């Protein structure tokens, strides 16, 4: 997520870069739900999908939800982007994370998980904005508006790390243990891209932690199983991590 900019329609350099990255990765290697999610967000950004709103109109903020009850922004904001490069970086990240998790969880399960994460990240963003406004007295937290898929990507990153065996991650040229990689990335992005939404990224991390480390994750897995009749099978270390806290 990042503060809004007016969207430019049509093909732009970031779209071209994304296409080349997808070709280099292998479009046939990108799982279907991940690929369709990327295509839909690209088509939405370039204006091919006609919608009755502009990107800047559906950014999410605490004031829009609490005062104006603008529930459209609650979900739509996650799938809009403010610039072609914003879209490019997010979709490249989705290629990597989706290609890892979707085959493991199965396509329908992954689609439902993305939907739940979308609701969760929006809820966390609004909650954090309100709490920070109350704690600091800074009204800016209450009105700060953001769009983008990156909060969901941070949640997915936490899940990927929980599925993997402990290993070293490269974060912006820094080699760090997996258990702190997402926190290092949060800080680096905030320092290098100050206009990015720190609250949105932090909210995504917290949603990922709730899924990985608490009973809420078990509840989500059970709900998904009831809907699809396909269980989500995690790696053994994922269960160890989920059982390590709050038990």
As annotated, the active-site residues are 150, 201
- Local structure of 94: helix, strand or coil: helix
Among 63, 65, 45, residue whose Cα is nearest residue 54? 45
C-alpha–C-alpha distance, residues 167 and 119, integer Å: 30
- Local structure of 210: helix, strand or coil: helix
C-alpha–C-alpha distance, residues 211 and 192, integer Å: 28
Copy the structure tokens of residue 91. Answer: 């979709």
Copy the structure tokens of residue 81. Answer: 């982007």
Copy the structure tokens of residue 132. Answer: 């920070």
C-alpha–C-alpha distance, residues 28 and 22, integer Å: 9
Q: Which uninterrupted H or E stretch holds 176?
A: strand 174-177
Among 96, 107, 146, residue whose Cα is nearest residue 124? 146
Query: Which pairs count as long-range contacts for 19-22, CB under 8 Å and 24+ apart, including other chains?
Result: 21/88, 21/92, 21/95, 22/95
Q: Residue 72 CB: number of other CB atoms within 10 A?
A: 14
First to last CA, the chain: 33
């Amino acid at each position: 997520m990042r503060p809004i900019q007016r969207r430019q329609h049509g093909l732009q350099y970031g779209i071209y870069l994304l296409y080349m990255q997808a070709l280099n990765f292998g479009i046939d290697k990108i799982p279907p739900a991940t690929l369709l999610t990327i295509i839909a967000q690209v088509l939405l950004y370039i204006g091919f999908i006609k919608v009755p709103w502009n990107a800047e109109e559906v950014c999410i903020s605490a004031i829009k939800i609490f005062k104006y009850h603008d529930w459209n922004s609650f979900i739509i904001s996650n799938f809009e982007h403010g610039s072609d490069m914003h879209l490019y970086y997010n979709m490249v990240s989705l290629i990597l994370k989706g290609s890892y998790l979707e085959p493991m969880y199965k396509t329908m399960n992954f689609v439902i998980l993305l939907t739940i994460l979308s609701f969760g990240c929006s809820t966390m963003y609004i909650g954090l904005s309100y709490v920070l406004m109350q704690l600091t007295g800074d009204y800016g937290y209450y009105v700060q508006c953001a769009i983008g898929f990156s909060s969901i990507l941070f949640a997915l990153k936490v899940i990927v790390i929980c599925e993997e065996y402990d290993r070293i991650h490269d974060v912006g040229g820094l080699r760090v243990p997996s258990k702190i990689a997402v926190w290092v990335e949060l800080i680096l992005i905030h320092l290098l891209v100050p206009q990015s939404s720190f609250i949105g990224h932090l909210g995504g991390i917290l949603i990922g932690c709730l899924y990985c480390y608490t009973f809420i994750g078990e509840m989500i897995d059970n709900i998904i199983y009831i809907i699809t009749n396909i269980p989500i099978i995690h790696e053994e270390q994922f269960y160890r991590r989920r059982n390590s806290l709050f038990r």
